[in-house]
Structure 1
Amino acid sequence: MRGPADEQHLRDLALLRRVRDRMDREYAEPLDVESLARGVNMSAGHLSREFKRAYGESPYSYLMTRRIERAMALLRRGDLSVTEVCFEVGCQSLGTFSTRFTQLVGMPPSTYRREAVAHASGLPQCVAKQVTRPIRSTSIRNGEASVPNPLLA
């Protein structure tokens, strides 16, 4: 039999799923923890703690990963500049975007764009999507960007 604490936990998980789905849908919009929390009637602190407990990363980190994934796809197309991609995916600062991109992908966005366009002709799209996903490693959390890049292998 479930107790009140279990039922509240299940309700919180459903709300967290709504928050995550909103970030997946609206990644290019200006989202912050306070507005996400308001949308599900939680405090920002509670949302951050529960989100990290449920998904293993903070809401901000999750959102930035979604933005970088989308940026990677736009950069592979090759028709937008890095600055245009930065703003297209909802980032407000080119410096923050470039730093985060480099941490997650292992190279700056300009290098990624150049390499991706050069390799695009020989890599099937289904393989390109799998091989060029951002990879989060524990070394990134410690400030090291030591993620091997599959495009250079």
Structure 2
Amino acid sequence: MALTIHVADELRLVWDGPDVVPGGAVAVEGDRVAAVGLPAGLQERFPGARVRRWSGVLGPGLVHEGPLPGAPTPRERVHELLKLGVVAVRAESVTGSGLRAAAERNGLLVLSAARPTAIEPGGRADLAVFDGDGSCVATVCAGRLVHRRR
């Protein structure tokens, strides 16, 4: 399985918690978080891993509540969410015209109820990186990079 270490200016394991790790990193193996920590330690632990460096704050991907953004096709509607750092949607938001299938094809979780998000070893690798103005730089769903701002 390919292993990737995502490094950012700042790491937050939860968005609403006080803990911030400057220069923190998340090692991702397959669709799971293998470890969190500082880049040097993770690179030593996982030699040969691909390293992706991001400017901004790396944290758990977001859960979208409410209707999906408008776009011509279900795939494009889901992509609009990925561009916002979303990795999960509520089931009632993806009921029509191929939306659920498009969400699942792109790795989005379809949830029956909202849940808090966190980055934890062994958990699903759902990550998002945001820059200083809050714009999403990158989204990772189940370990797969599904959005990267150019």
TM-score (norm 1): 0.27
Name the structure, 1 or 2, with higher relative contact order (CA <8 Å, separation 6+). 2
Structure having the larger proportion of residues in strand:
2
Query: Which structure: larger Rg?
Result: 1
TM-score (norm 2): 0.27
